[in-house]
Amino acid sequence: MSEEKQVKLTDQELARRQKMEALQTQGIDPFGHAFKRTHFSGQIREAYGEKSAEELESLSVDVTIAGRIMSKRRMGKIGFMDLQDRDGRLQVVVKKQVVGEEVYEIFKQSDIGDIVGIQGKVIKTQAGELSVEVHAYTHLSKALRPLPEKFHGLTDKEERYRRRYVDLIMNEDSKKVAFLRPRIIQCIRNYMSGQGFTEVETPILSTLLTGASARPFVTHHNTQDLDMYLRIALELPLKRLLVGGMEAVYEIGRVFRNEGMDTNHNPEFTLMEAYLAYSDLEGMMDLTEGMYTTIAKEVMGKSTFQYNGHEIHIDGPWARVSMTDAIKEKTGIDFKAITSLDECLNLAKEHGIELEEHEKQYGHIINKFFEKYVEETLIQPTFLYGHPLEISPLTKKNPEDPRFVDRFELFIGGNEFANAYTELNNPIDQLERFEEQLKEKDLGNDEANDIDMDFVEALEYGMPPAGGIGYGIDRLCMLFLEQESIRDVLLFPTMKPRNEND
């Protein structure tokens, strides 16, 4: 160990290293080996928590557990520890007369944060606390850094996110979220399977920017000397599978968008997209409402959630409202009745709505009005449908008014949770939409799509009429887990590098 490194160690860290060396002197590996346990703490509490001391004495239940020492105290020849495993904490009682002087000394030299294995009997103490009386004590791993005393109460959440491993040790709420999120995703998979969908995997690397409106991350393939994008969406490969006859497909995967970060956005996030042949917008609404209510019932066991400062009721039926009707209700402006672009531009100016050059179009102006006057007012689950053509390059036109498309977004608590289409399957129309996107790119829209000629070719072979939808899984988890920030439902959110002196 270099002198430079020793200078940086605190007194506690030096003491722990000395204890590590003492274990080695005794022939004990400070960083241990495999350890076979019979129970988790939750199983012991569930099976024996209600039994009396006398009943436990009669049953003489032998268990083997392992976990991290979270608290420790001694009273003469008896010691107590709170041992924490994945289920929570359980008290352990160490009696010198039972384990012997040598083992008791190893216990005495242990530190909070160390990981140990325990074999012993389930008992109730005189204070009535469910415990394990130690018969065999095994040191498993030495903690060379002390645990913080009040990490769960840190006002600097940056450190909780950056040192998530410590957060999970110290904060039961964080651990609960970490275990519930996979259960929610598994529930989604079970639900989709029950609806006849097949889960697939599609490429993360692409040479084209397609499937959504977003700025990409760019990487480089050395062998082919080729710049590539990290995917911003899952859409076009999945729709190729509809052409191929898979008919009902979905993917849950990471996508990457080189954009700002806030409580609702992380540069990499989990997206789920699903496509169902012979379905449409109505089918996607039914699929979505069914999925959300299933998660609420089967995973969370309730239908009311606190999210974004609101009490959200998941029970249906959910509201369904058109974008133009919602704008008309808030502003009195009926964009469906307006046919003049000049009139739209004047209305935007009157309402203080600034437009980029590529946004000086009928559809973009409608969307700007929606964002300013409507979006934050959609609190209870609402399907907002009838989007303008210009902001929906992959969606089938509405047959009654081709200025609009058959698309909806799901809004809850003022935020978007899902985006769905009656899918565009006309290759001629699709190519025209791609070409319009290129014009927008020339006008400065750096989120516009490239032309994917292979996808147009796929459509020329015939894609069945279909419904499609994309879900932000992280935001879905925020709702069900009642968290205010996307960082609270990501184990490792994107963070700036830590200062080396920290």
Residue 74 placed within a domain: yes
**Residue among 448, 445, 468, 431 at smallest CA distance from 213:** 448
Tell if the pTM clears 0.85, that is, is over it: yes
Give the chain's end-to-end CA distance (angstroms, integer). 20
d(CA 347, CA 352): 9
Q: Region 249-257: what's the mean pLDDT?
A: 97
Give pLDDT tens digits for 115-125. 999 999 999 99
Residue 350 placed within a domain: no
Say if residue 262 is in the same domain as residue 406. yes
Q: How confident is the model at residue 180 (pLDDT cuts 50, 70, 90)?
A: very high
Residue 372 placed within a domain: no
**Residue among 276, 282, 404, 385 at smallest CA distance from 336:** 404
The bridge status of strand 78-85 relative to strand 268-277 is unpaired
Q: Give me 290's structure tokens.
A: 């069914």
Residue 391 has what pLDDT? 87
| Own/partner pairs, 16-19, CB within 8 angstroms, 24+ separation | 16/111, 16/142, 16/143, 16/144, 16/145, 16/146, 17/144, 19/109, 19/111, 19/142
* Residues 94 and 132 sit within 8 Å (Cβ to Cβ): no
Higher pLDDT, 22 or 391: 22
**Residue among 314, 270, 298, 280 at smallest CA distance from 194:** 298
Identify the CATH number of the domain in which residue 70 sits.
2.40.50.140
Is the pLDDT at 107 greater than 80? The verdict is: yes
Residue 361 placed within a domain: no
Domain that residue 117 falls in: 3-141
Say if residue 68 is in the same domain as residue 194. no
The bridge status of strand 198-199 relative to strand 248-256 is parallel
Say if residue 394 is in the same domain as residue 435. yes
**What are the φ/ψ torsions at residue 146 (nearest 5 degrees)?**
-75, 145
Q: Give me 69's structure tokens.
A: 């020492």
Residue 364 placed within a domain: no
* Residues 359 and 368 sit within 8 Å (Cβ to Cβ): yes
Q: Which of 151-155, 160-164, 290-294, 316-320 has the highest mean pLDDT?
A: 290-294
Say if residue 212 is in the same domain as residue 266. yes
Say if residue 114 is in the same domain as residue 256. no
Concatenating the DSSP letter of every residue in 339-395 gives --HHHHHHHHHHTT----GGG-SHHHHHHHHHHHHTGGG--S-EEEEEEEGGG-TTB
Q: Give me 260's structure tokens.
A: 């700002």
Say if residue 136 is in the same domain as residue 174. no
Q: For residue 184, give the H/E element and its range.
A: helix 172-194
* Residues 99 and 48 sit within 8 Å (Cβ to Cβ): no
Give pLDDT tens digits for 84-100. 999 999 999 999 999 99
Residue 160 placed within a domain: no
Say if residue 293 is in the same domain as residue 419. yes
Residue 1 has what pLDDT? 45
Q: Give me 137's structure tokens.
A: 């004590």
Say if residue 181 is in the same domain as residue 130. no
Bridge partners for 227 per DSSP: 220
Task: Please report, rounded to a whole number, the percentage of residues in the chain having pLDDT higher than 90.
Answer: 85
Say if residue 417 is in the same domain as residue 306. yes
* Residues 132 and 92 sit within 8 Å (Cβ to Cβ): yes
* Residues 73 and 82 sit within 8 Å (Cβ to Cβ): no
Say if residue 192 is in the same domain as residue 298. yes
Identify the CATH number of the domain in which residue 245 sits.
3.30.930.10
Say if residue 42 is in the same domain as residue 106. yes
Residue 427 has what pLDDT? 96
Mean pLDDT of the chain: 93
Q: How confident is the model at residue 395 (pLDDT cuts 50, 70, 90)?
A: confident
Q: For residue 108, give the H/E element and its range.
A: helix 101-109
Residue 498 placed within a domain: no
d(CA 56, CA 104): 24
148: left (phi over 0), alpha (psi -120 to 50) or beta: beta
Give residue 373's identity as a one-letter amino acid code. Answer: Y
Q: How confident is the model at residue 434 (pLDDT cuts 50, 70, 90)?
A: confident
Q: For tokens 């924490």, name the residue.
A: 84
Number of domain units in the chain: 2
Say if residue 192 is in the same domain as residue 117. no
Give pLDDT tens digits for 186-222. 999 999 999 999 999 999 999 988 877 789 999 999 9
R_g of the chain computed on alpha carbons = 29
